[in-house]
Amino acid sequence: MSDPPTLETELDRARDLRVSDLADAIESIGFECTRCGACCKGHTADDGEREPHTATVFPDEVRRVADTAADDDTREGLTTLLQGVGAAQRSEPQPVGAVGLARSVRDPEVKHGLGYLLTVAKAIGRERGAAAEE
């Protein structure tokens, strides 16, 4: 039995791959490929520096994310979170100490936000716990 290839050997092998061979492999597992080589072999950025590859995704991962995102509740929840992040970024939040934190929990908007975040945390815990038991 031979020794497994070293990382250096595998990297050299990857660098020697032809874009057309990679494109054929990508298409054979169900993806479309423009055959540019940028996502799988890297590309040259505007500043002339070589950027590393930018995509390593497998079809089952994409399907799982797409299935999750197709759920109306998930999509609405993510929209709510993203809108909240955008609003917070625009408002230039100030540092808050322990007293400020205690005062802020009287604010109805903060109460709603904390309730939402706690519900998200509970759902994540439930999902993670179920996954750990499998």
In a domain, 99, yes or no: yes
Structural domain contains residue 54: yes
Using one digit for the tens of pLDDT, what is the confidence trace for 62-77?
A: 777 778 888 899 889 9
Q: Is 83 a domain residue? A: yes
Higher pLDDT, 132 or 71: 71
- Ramachandran angles phi, psi of 102, nearest 5°: -60, -40
Mind listing the pLDDT tens digit for each residue in 66-112? 788 888 998 899 899 999 999 999 998 889 999 999 999 999 999 99
Asked if residue 59 lies in contact with residue 30, where contact means CB atoms within 8 angstroms, the answer is yes
79 and 51 in a single domain? The answer is: no
- Tell which of 35, 60, 85 closes a domain: 60
pLDDT at 61: 67
77 and 105 fall within a common domain: yes
Residues 102 and 80 in one domain: yes
Residue 16 is predicted with a pLDDT of 78
pLDDT at 122 over 80: yes
Please check whether residues 83 and 43 belong to one and the same domain: no
Give the residue numbers spanning the domain of 38. 7-60
Does 118 score more than 90 pLDDT? yes
Q: Outline where 29-134 has alpha helix (H).
A: 38-41, 59-70, 72-91, 98-104, 108-133
Consecutive H or E run containing 61 = helix 59-70
Would residue 68 count as lying in a domain?
no
Domain count, the chain: 2
